[in-house]
C-alpha cells in the first residue's frame, strides 16, 4: 500500500441524518395542525352544507307555496287543503310530493299540480320542485322562520319588499302590477289601494273575498291572508306604494302590528265610485 494512502486515508462523507430527520419532523409537526385545521374546516363546511341542504317548511317551502300555490291552497279554501298551514301541509306531504314531483316526472298517475301550463305552473321552477321533493324525503321539518332584521333604510325596505313581491304577489298581480284582466285587480295606479292604507294592510293580513271595484272595473276573486311577519308586510306594501305610479306612502311594522289585532273589514262590493284615479 502506498505510504500516501496509509497516511491520508480516504475521507467518508457523513450525511447529517439526525439533523435532517429532526428538520423533517419539525416540518411535519408544523404542517400537521394546518392540515388538520383545513380538514376540520372542510368537514365543518360539508356538515353545514349538508344541514342547509335539508329544506325546512318555514325557511324554504312556505315561501314557494305562497308564491305559487296560495291562489288555491289557502285558509279560505273549501275543497283543497291549506298548504300555508304547516300541520296541514305536513299531513298532506306525500301527496304534495306526488303531485308536484312524481306526476311532473311521469311516475304518478294523477294530474300534476299546479295544473300544467297555468301561470302558477309556469312560474314554479325545476329547482323549487326539487326543494319540495327533498323537503318531504328529508322528514318535512318545520324549522324556524328567518329572524327579522334590524332597522333598515327606506331603500333597503323597498328592496326587500320588491323581492317579496316578486316571489309571492307577482304570480297574480303580475311583475308590472297590472293584474290579470277580469281575474286579479291591478295594483298599478290603483284608486282602491291608494284610498285607504289601513285597509290594504288588513287585506294582506287577513285576505279578502268578494267583489271590488278598482279603477272603474269590477273584480270578484279571492285573496288569501299571508303568514308574513310585521316587517315583511310593511316592506312589501311600502314597495307597492312606491312603485307602479302609486302614492309613495310608507308602511311601518308598528302599523301592521296594531292592525293585526283588529278584525278584518267586512267583505262585499267596494263603496268606491267607479271613477278614474289620479294615479292612473
pLDDT digits (tens, 9 = 90+) for 198-238: 999 999 999 988 899 999 999 998 888 888 899 999 999 99
What's the rounded mean pLDDT across residues 37-63?
59
Grid coordinates in use for 266? 267586512
What pLDDT band is residue 148 in, cutting at 50, 70 and 90?
low
Q: Which residue in this structure is represented by grid cell 302614492?
A: 247
Segment (H or E) for 43: helix 17-53
pLDDT at 80: 84
pLDDT tens-digit profile of 77-132? 778 888 888 999 999 999 999 999 999 999 999 989 888 887 778 778 899 999 99
Which residue reads 312560474 in cell numbers?
123
Q: 3-state DSSP: the chain helix, strand, coil percent, rounded to 5?
A: 50, 5, 45
Distance CA 235, CA 258 (A): 16
Which of the two residues, 78 and 150, has the higher pLDDT score?
78
Q: What integer pLDDT is reported at residue 52 of this predicted model?
A: 53
Q: What is the mean pLDDT of residues 258-280?
A: 59
Query: What are the C-alpha distances in Å from 214 to residues 195, 196, 229?
Result: 11, 13, 27
| Mean pLDDT of the 274-278 span | 38
Answer yes or no: is pLDDT of 170 > 70.
Answer: yes
Q: How far apart are CA 209 and CA 222, in angstroms?
A: 5
pTM as predicted: 0.63
Instruction: Report H helices in the chain.
Output: 3-7, 17-53, 62-68, 86-91, 93-97, 119-123, 126-137, 154-164, 170-173, 191-195, 197-206, 230-241, 253-260
Amino acid at each position: 500500500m502506498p505510504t500516501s494512502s496509509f497516511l491520508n486515508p480516504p475521507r467518508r462523507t457523513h450525511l447529517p441524518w439526525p439533523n435532517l430527520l429532526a428538520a423533517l419532523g419539525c416540518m411535519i409537526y408544523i404542517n400537521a395542525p394546518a392540515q388538520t385545521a383545513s380538514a376540520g374546516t372542510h368537514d365543518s363546511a360539508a356538515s353545514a352544507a349538508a344541514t342547509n341542504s335539508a329544506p325546512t317548511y318555514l325557511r324554504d317551502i312556505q315561501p314557494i307555496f305562497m308564491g305559487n300555490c296560495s291562489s288555491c291552497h289557502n285558509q279560505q279554501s273549501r275543497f283543497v287543503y291549506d298548504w300555508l298551514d304547516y300541520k296541514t301541509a305536513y299531513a298532506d306531504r306525500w301527496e304534495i310530493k306526488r303531485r308536484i314531483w312524481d306526476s311532473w316526472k311521469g311516475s304518478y298517475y294523477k294530474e300534476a299540480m299546479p295544473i300544467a301550463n297555468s301561470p302558477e305552473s309556469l312560474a314554479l321552477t325545476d329547482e323549487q320542485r326539487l326543494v319540495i321533493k327533498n323537503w318531504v324525503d328529508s322528514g318535512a321539518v318545520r324549522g324556524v322562520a328567518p329572524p327579522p332584521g334590524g332597522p333598515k333604510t327606506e331603500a333597503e325596505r323597498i328592496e326587500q319588499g320588491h323581492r317579496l313581491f316578486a316571489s309571492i304577489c307577482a304570480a297574480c298581480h303580475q311583475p308590472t302590477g297590472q293584474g290579470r284582466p277580469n281575474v286579479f285587480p291591478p295594483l298599478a295606479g290603483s284608486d282602491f289601494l291608494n284610498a285607504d292604507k289601513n285597509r290594504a294592510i288588513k287585506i294582506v293580513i287577513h285576505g279578502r273575498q268578494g267583489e271590488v271595484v278598482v279603477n272603474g272595473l269590477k273584480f270578484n276573486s279571492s285573496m288569501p291572508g299571508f303568514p308574513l311577519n310585521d316587517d315583511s308586510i310593511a316592506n312589501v306594501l311600502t314597495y307597492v306604494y312606491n312603485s307602479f305610479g302609486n302614492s309613495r306612502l310608507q308602511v311601518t311594522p308598528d302599523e301592521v302590528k296594531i292592525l293585526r289585532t283588529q278584525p278584518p273589514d267586512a267583505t262585499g262590493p267596494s263603496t268606491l265610485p267607479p271613477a278614474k284615479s289620479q294615479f292612473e
